[in-house]
Structures are given as C-alpha cells and as structure tokens.
C-alpha cells in the first residue's frame, strides 16, 4: 500500500526583498495514514515553508509530491483548493478565529467553503461532533472573545477536523499557550490520529515532539 | 448543478455574514454612491418627462403619431372633391383655414394678423411698419399719414378660423376648458357655432367685442355663437367651426382665388381606403399626384432626436457624479478587503476557491449598488408624486405624470455598474491574497 504522502527532492527558493534564498534544498518526507510526525528546527529554518508546500498553499520549485500516488507538485490552484478542503486540516500558532462568528460558526466555515454542500442539519451534527472531539461542545454558542486561549485553539482544531481530513498540519500550535493548555491541545490532536488521521506537528517543544511516532529535524534545507 | 448551487449557497452565507458584521460600512458606501445614482435617475426621469410633455403638446398642435396629413392644392374643384369625400367619414377629417375678424366693422383689429394678444405690436404677426427717412439729416420716423388713411383700431379681434368636416379630436386631443365641443350631428346652423382656443378666449374676455363676424370672401356677415373653449396648444387665436356652417356664407367662387383658404386632410392610420379614394377623385380632376403632398406624423422620433443630445450631455455629468460614488465604493471596498486579509487567507486555506471569494466581494458591492438604486428610485417616485400633486392644478400636463420606467432601469443599471466598477479591484485583491504569507508563524 502506498504511503499517504511522499515528497522527493523538494526544493523551494523564496525571493524576498534581498537576494533569493534557498529555504528547502531537497526535502524527502514520507508519512503513512494515521502516522504522527514531529518536525523540529531553528526559527527560520523553513518549517512553515515546508508545511505550506505539504498543505498546497504553495508549490515547490522542484521535486515530486505524491498524495495517494497522485503527483501534486504542479497541481493547479482550483484542484489544490478542493484538496485542501477534502484532505487537509490546518492549525496555526495564531488561532485565526473570525470574531463576528460563534465557535460553532467558526467550525462550520470549513464546511461552508463552496466545496460540496451539506444541509444545515448535517452541518450542525458535524460541527457538534468536532467540538465534542476537542472537548468543548458546551461552548458552541460562544464568540471567541469569551473564550480562553486554549479553548480558542481547540475551536481551531475542531475546524481542522470537521471534514475528517486524512492529514492534520499543525504549525507551532502551542506557541501561544501555556504548558498545561498546550498539552491539552496536543492531546486532542494526537487523539485524532487514533481515528486514522495523519499528523505533522511543527514544534519547538521536545516533550510534545516526543509524543509523536517519529521526530524529524529540519536544518540547512534538509529534513533528517 | 449541485456544485454550483452549493457554491451559491456558500456565497450567500459568507456574504450575509460579511454584510451583517459591517452594516455601517455598507451604509457609508451607499451614501457615497447615492448622489451619483440619484443624478442618473433624475436626468432620465427629466428627459422622459420632458419627452412626454412635449409629445402631449405636439399631439395637440400637430396630431397624434401615425396620423396621415394631406395638403390639398387651393383649387376649388379639388377642395370640393376632398370635402365631399371625407364628409361624414369617421376616420378622416378635412380642415379649411380662413382668416376671420369678429367685432366692430370698419376698424383695424386689435391683433392684426391674428397675433397673440400679449404680442399685438411688433413681432412678425403685425404689418411691416413704414419709415420715412430724411436724406439730409438721416433721421427716420414712422409714417403717420398711412395710418390716418386706414380705419382706426377698434373693438375687433382677428382669428384663424378652422372649418372642420368632423371631430378633429381623434387626431388632436384638445383638452376641454369650458362649455362644449362642436356638435357635428344634425343640420348646419345659420349662426355658426364656434369653439375658441384659450388665446382667442383671452381676446374675448379682455375686450368688449360685438358678435359680428367678417370672414374673408364671405357674402354677408354671420353672427357667431361661441359654445366652448378648448386648449389646443396653439398660441395664435383660433376658433373651430363646422365647415358646412361656414360654407353657408361662402359663394363657391371665393375658393377659386389662388390665395384662398388652404385645406388639410387628416387620416387615421387605418383610413387607407378613404385616403386612396380622395387621391383617385382629385387626380381624376386632372391634378397631378405629385401635388398631393402626404406625410405621416412621427413626433415621437423627432422629439427623441431633439432631446437626445441634451440628454447625453446631462447623463455625462451624472456619470461624473456617479464616478465619485464609484471611488467611494472602491475606497470602502479596498479598506474592507485590507481588514479581511486574514479571513480571506483562512477561507482559502480551508478550501474556498478564490473565484468564490472574489465573487463574494463583488456581490457585496453589487448589492450595495442595488440597494442604493432602490433608495434613489424610491426618492424619485416620491418626488414626482409630490410634484404632480403640488403643481398639477396649475399645469394640467403634470396631473397624471408618473415615474418613467426608463429612469428606474437607468438607476438599476447605474447602481450595478457602479457596484461592478467599485468592487472589481477589491475582488481581484481578495482573490490574490497569498495564504502562506498570511498564515506563517
Ligand atoms: N514571503 C517570504 N518571502 C521571502 N522570505 C520569506 C518569506 N517568508 C519567510 N521567509 C524567510 O524564509 C525563511 C523560512 O521561513 P519559515 O518557513 O517561516 O521558517 P520557520 O517556520 O522554520 O521559522 C525565513 O528566513 C524567513 O525569513
Ligand atoms: Mg514557522
């Protein structure tokens, strides 16, 4: 059986204000279904850049990227959007909740994205299930301003899980949280891997990394 | 189909949430756009109303669109043939024009040449004034002796007298002012019944006029009876009369003079047979077909051409005002997108296609444009309603004035175009927001 994702020789050069900088210089990465992987690395080593390539926010300059055997390295944006919706869930360091919406509506926005249509009743059921998975179903009607940081990040995790993705991408999800709530957030994400969801966790916290099945390190544009 | 409707419903939900969370902004863009759309609506409403009023005027003056007008050469046989052919026909009317003076005998009428009463001296209605110039001094003065030789001015008015074979109002919808219209049934009376137009009525109320009428070429002076007054849109004093009541007083020979009364026939668009019959009878008398000049009244087209340039000039100015409104929407739209960068990046991250995001931004500005158009049109409808109520009693044409639908269409188009122009750049911006840059930790 082929792995969930397989990256071979991925390179990425970013052209900023200064001269172009090679951020990724031949990254190889394989993640199986339901597998959890931690990625460590100095600040600025390119971890977020790598996640943005895996999550199809951006495309690599070179190399191959297979998902379920399909090459996504040069996939057009329209198809990438459909895959982001169907296959990936994203959690960021900042929570990116919309303040004018309730927790439930924030989770539902991943369902109201123009990719297929779920009737309101089904949406509600999926949203409550996702909120329940992260343990805050009782906060469904609250707006973000009324929630603690840990609760807000769990709403974000529920938003990432609501479409039952095959891979969860988390970019320093505990960076803005204290240790205890951070642990809680890592735990709800790890629990998702028990239901068959893959997880790539970018973190600076070695304790969190140790909870993953595999720990990799990014430096000099190469993953080891 | 399912995918399309799913997209559409997603757009409705996202757009609705966006507008609800930014009511004030939507309101502010509406204000900036309102004057522009209102200007477009006003210009269109004004132009259409002017057209309607002008058309109503021309209908009175010349005739309804589609009416066929035929001029009969001043030959007695031809005119006789024409008169007898159209007499009693429902779809055709003959009109004979006479000059008539009513009032004291042997005086110069107050309004020589049938001039309007407020303009009796000067103008092209009066006779040319003669000047006596001294060749030595170069000094000129009007000749007095000539006037002395003429009868003096007295209590008499000069009118254009229109002899009718039937009811002309089917072609020229005169508005009744007082009394009755002519009765064409029954035998002609020896005392001709007259219906005056408003200008003629003015002369009769202003001056004490004895009821004696002199008509050029008439054998005797009949005593007319005035039965009513109409508004015929004509500024020259005019009276309408049954032509058979006039002809009682006319020897047949008068019509032989080359400068005798002119004659005009009016045909309904459906009166082709009658028209052909008249043509056949007159050409049978040896009159050339070319001398029967016929034309179809098309005032609507003439007015449209007449008003087109003015309308475009004003629409151009309204367009400039609208452009300021577009700049307002654009400004608010760009600010909103700038404020929503994270939201749009996030929506793209969860799989919302960029085309949908652009569509939502555009839909919001289009909706703003439509709401503004609705407000401007509403104001226009109320304004015309109030205006017609206030001035309707003084200007009868305004009485049943309604908001022209063309102005409504123009308003909606202006609102949509402004929404499109103002929303396009923000929409493109929204679609181009890069996810990676915004979400990077
Ligand atoms: N949009 C960008 N343009 C140019 N350079 C960038 C851009 N974003 C990040 N970088 C640079 O790319 C490098 C990698 O960034 P990033 O992937 O965010 O690192 P990490 O997440 O490991 O801290 C950094 O040196 C950063 O300064
Ligand atoms: Mg980073």
| Residue B97 within any structural domain of the chain | yes
Mutate to test the pocket of ligand 1, among A39, A44, A92, A171 (most ligand atoms within 8 A of CB): A44
Nearest CA in chain B to A52: B436
Pairing between strand A167-171 and A88-91?
parallel
| Protein residue with its CA nearest to atom 8 in ligand 1 | B437
Q: Is the pTM of this model over 0.90?
A: no
Which pLDDT does position A11 carry in this prediction?
Answer: 92
Clarify whether residues B307 and B186 are in a common domain.
no
Clarify whether residues B280 and B368 are in a common domain.
no
Smallest Cβ distance to B6: which of A77, A78, A117? A117
Q: Is the CB of A14 under 6 A from ligand 1?
A: yes
Q: Is the pLDDT of residue A146 over 60?
A: yes
Q: How many Å lie between the centroid of ligand 2 and the Cα of residue B158?
A: 101
Clarify whether residues B87 and B184 are in a common domain.
yes
Q: Which of residues B261, B296, B331 is at a domain's end?
A: B296
Give me the count of residues in chain A: 224
Residue A172 CA, closest ligand 1 atom number: 21
Q: CB distance A81–B7 less than 8 Å?
A: no
Q: Is the CB of B436 under 6 A from ligand 1?
A: no
Residue A85, domain CATH? 3.40.50.300
**3-class SS at B98?**
strand
Distance from C-alpha of B174 to C-alpha of B176, rounded to nearest angstrom:
6
Q: Which domain holds residue A20?
A: 5-223
Q: What is the mean pLDDT of residues A168-190?
A: 90
Q: How many structural domains is chain A composed of?
A: 1
| Residue B138 within any structural domain of the chain | no
Both structure tokens of B242: 């049954």
| Strand ranges, E, within chain A | 5-14, 21-31, 36-40, 62-67, 70-71, 88-91, 167-171, 198-202, 214-219, 222-223
Distance from C-alpha of B102 to C-alpha of B109, rounded to nearest angstrom:
8
Q: How many Å lie between the centroid of ligand 1 and the Cα of residue A15?
A: 10
Angle at the Cα of B341 (from B340 to B344), degrees rounded to 5? 85
Which pLDDT does position B251 carry in this prediction?
Answer: 63
Clarify whether residues B355 and B418 are in a common domain.
yes
Distance from C-alpha of A201 to C-alpha of A91, rounded to nearest angstrom:
9
Burial of B380 (0-12, 13-18, 19+ CB in 10 A): buried
Which pLDDT does position B128 carry in this prediction?
Answer: 44
Torsion of CA B202, B207, B211, B217, to 10 degrees: -80
DSSP state of B243: H
| Residue B392 within any structural domain of the chain | yes
| Residue B148 within any structural domain of the chain | no
Q: CB distance B3–A112 less than 8 Å?
A: no
How many angstroms away from the CA of B363 is the closest CA of chain A?
15
| Protein residue with its CA nearest to atom 11 in ligand 1 | A44
| Residue B107 within any structural domain of the chain | yes
Clarify whether residues B78 and B214 are in a common domain.
yes
The partner residues of B69 in beta bridges, in order of sequence, read: B266, B295
| Residue B128 within any structural domain of the chain | no
Q: Is the pLDDT of residue A51 over 90?
A: yes
Q: How many structural domains is chain B composed of?
A: 2
How many angstroms away from the CA of B373 is the closest CA of chain A?
28
Clarify whether residues B87 and B49 are in a common domain.
no
Give me the count of residues in chain B: 441
Clarify whether residues B292 and B378 are in a common domain.
no
Clarify whether residues B40 and B72 are in a common domain.
no
Chain mean pLDDT for chain A? 91
Smallest Cβ distance to B342: which of A58, A96, A171? A96
Nearest to B97 by CA among B267, B195, B239, B228: B239
Pairing between strand B140-142 and B131-133?
antiparallel
Q: Which residues of B touch A90 (CB under 8 A)?
A: 349-350, 439
| Residue B84 within any structural domain of the chain | yes
Distance from C-alpha of B293 to C-alpha of B287, rounded to nearest angstrom:
12
Which pLDDT does position B217 carry in this prediction?
Answer: 65
Q: CB distance B10–A112 less than 8 Å?
A: yes
Q: Is the CB of A36 under 6 A from ligand 1?
A: no
pLDDT per residue, tens digit, chain B (441 aa), is 555 577 888 888 888 888 888 888 888 888 888 888 888 888 888 888 888 878 777 787 788 888 888 888 877 788 888 888 888 888 888 888 888 888 777 778 888 778 888 776 544 444 444 455 566 655 655 555 444 455 667 778 888 888 888 888 888 888 888 888 888 888 888 788 888 888 888 888 888 777 777 776 666 777 888 888 888 888 888 889 888 887 767 765 444 444 455 788 888 888 888 888 888 888 888 888 887 888 888 877 777 777 788 888 888 888 888 888 888 888 888 988 898 899 999 999 999 999 999 988 888 888 888 999 999 999 988 888 888 777 766 666 666 677 888 888 988 999 999 999 989 999 999 999 998 888 775
Nearest CA in chain A to B343: A98
Q: Which of residues B254, B273, B296 is at a domain's end?
A: B296
Which pLDDT does position B151 carry in this prediction?
Answer: 60
Q: Which of residues B247, B268, B296 is at a domain's end?
A: B296
How many angstroms away from the CA of A194 is the closest CA of chain B?
23
Distance from C-alpha of B215 to C-alpha of B177, rounded to nearest angstrom:
25
Query: Nearest ligand to the C-alpha of residue A172?
Result: 2
| Protein residue with its CA nearest to atom 14 in ligand 1 | A46
Chain A interface residues (partner B, CB cutoff 8 A): 48-49, 52, 55, 57-58, 77-78, 81-86, 90, 92-94, 96, 98, 100-101, 105, 109-110, 112-117, 159, 171-172, 175
Query: Nearest ligand to the C-alpha of residue A218?
Result: 1
Clarify whether residues B264 and B331 are in a common domain.
no
Clarify whether residues B288 and B317 are in a common domain.
no
Q: How many Å lie between the centroid of ligand 1 and the Cα of residue B80?
A: 103
Residue A16 CA, closest ligand 1 atom number: 4
Clarify whether residues B76 and B187 are in a common domain.
yes
Distance from C-alpha of B404 to C-alpha of B311, rounded to nearest angstrom:
15
How many angstroms away from the CA of B345 is the closest CA of chain A?
10
Q: Which domain holds residue B310?
A: 6-61+301-440
Query: Nearest ligand to the C-alpha of residue A23?
Result: 1
Q: Is the CB of A49 under 6 A from ligand 1?
A: yes
| Residue B227 within any structural domain of the chain | yes
Smallest Cβ distance to B350: which of A84, A93, A175? A84
Clarify whether residues B207 and B321 are in a common domain.
no
Which pLDDT does position A189 carry in this prediction?
Answer: 92
**Spatial contact of A168 and A89, defined as CB atoms under 8 Å apart:** yes
């Amino acid at each position: 059986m082929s792995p969930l994702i397989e990256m071979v020789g991925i390179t990425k050069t970013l052209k900023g204000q200064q001269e172009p900088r090679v951020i990724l210089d031949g990254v190889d990465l394989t993640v199986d279904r339901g597998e959890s992987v931690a990625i460590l690395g100095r600040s600025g080593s390119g971890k977020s850049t790598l996640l943005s390539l895996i999550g199809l926010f951006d495309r690599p300059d070179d190399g191959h990227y297979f998902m379920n055997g399909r090459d996504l390295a040069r996939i057009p944006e329209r198809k990438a959007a459909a895959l982001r919706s169907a296959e990936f869930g994203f959690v960021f360091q900042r929570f990116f909740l919309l303040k004018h919406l309730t927790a439930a509506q924030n989770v539902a926005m991943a369902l109201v994205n123009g990719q297929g249509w779920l009737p309101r009743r089904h949406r509600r059921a999926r949203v409550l299930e996702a909120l329940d998975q992260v343990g805050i179903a009782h906060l469904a009607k609250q707006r973000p301003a009324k929630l603690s940081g840990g609760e807000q990040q769990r709403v974000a995790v529920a938003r990432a899980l609501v479409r039952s993705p095959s891979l969860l991408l988390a970019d320093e999800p505990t960076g803005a949280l204290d240790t205890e709530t951070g642990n809680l957030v890592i735990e709800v994400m790890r629990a998702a891997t028990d239901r068959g969801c893959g997880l790539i966790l970018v973190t600076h916290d070695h304790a969190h990394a140790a909870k993953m099945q595999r720990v990799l390190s990014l430096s000099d544009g190469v993953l080891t | 189909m399912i995918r399309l409707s799913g997209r559409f419903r997603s757009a409705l939900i996202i757009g609705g949430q966006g507008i609800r969370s930014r009511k004030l902004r939507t309101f502010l863009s509406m204000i900036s756009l309102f004057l522009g759309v209102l200007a477009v609506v006003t210009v269109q409403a004004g132009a259409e109303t002017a057209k309607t009023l002008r058309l109503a005027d021309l209908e009175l003056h010349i005739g309804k669109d589609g009416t066929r007008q035929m001029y009969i050469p001043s030959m007695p046989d031809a005119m006789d043939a024409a008169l007898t052919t159209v007499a009693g026909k429902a779809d055709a009317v003959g009109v004979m024009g006479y000059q008539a003076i009513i009032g004291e005998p042997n005086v110069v009428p107050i309004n020589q040449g049938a001039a309007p009463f407020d303009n009796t001296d000067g103008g092209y209605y009066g006779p040319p004034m003669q000047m006596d110039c001294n060749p030595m001094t170069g000094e000129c003065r009007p000749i007095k002796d000539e006037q002395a030789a003429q009868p003096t001015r007295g209590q008499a008015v000069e009118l254009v007298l229109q002899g009718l074979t039937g009811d002309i109002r089917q072609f020229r919808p005169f508005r009744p002012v007082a009394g009755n219209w002519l009765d064409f049934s029954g035998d002609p009376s020896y005392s001709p019944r007259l219906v005056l137009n408003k200008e003629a009525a003015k002369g009769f109320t202003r001056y004490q006029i004895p009821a004696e009428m002199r008509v050029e070429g008439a054998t005797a002076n009949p005593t007319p009876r005035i039965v009513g007054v109409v508004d015929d849109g004509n500024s020259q004093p005019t009276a309408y009369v049954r032509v058979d009541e006039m002809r009682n007083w006319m020897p047949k020979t008068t019509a032989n003079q080359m400068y005798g009364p002119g004659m005009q026939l009016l045909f309904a668009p459906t009166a082709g047979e009658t028209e052909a019959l008249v043509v056949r009878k007159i050409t049978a008398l040896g009159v050339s077909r070319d001398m029967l000049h016929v034309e179809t009244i098309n005032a609507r087209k003439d007015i449209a051409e007449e008003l087109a340039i003015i309308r475009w000039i004003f629409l151009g100015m309204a367009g400039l005002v609208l452009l300021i409104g577009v700049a307002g929407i654009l400004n608010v739209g760009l600010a909103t997108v700038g404020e929503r960068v994270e939201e749009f990046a996030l929506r793209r991250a969860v799989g919302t296609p960029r085309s949908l995001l652009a569509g939502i931004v555009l839909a919001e500005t289009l909706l703003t444009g439509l709401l503004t158009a609705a407000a401007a049109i509403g104001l226009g409808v109320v304004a015309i309603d109030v205006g017609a109520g206030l001035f309707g009693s003084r200007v009868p044409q305004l009485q049943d004035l309604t908001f022209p639908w063309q102005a409504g269409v123009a308003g909606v188009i202006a609102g949509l175009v402004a929404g499109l122009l103002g929303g396009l750049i923000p929409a493109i911006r929204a679609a181009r927001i890069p996810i990676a840059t915004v979400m990077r930790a």
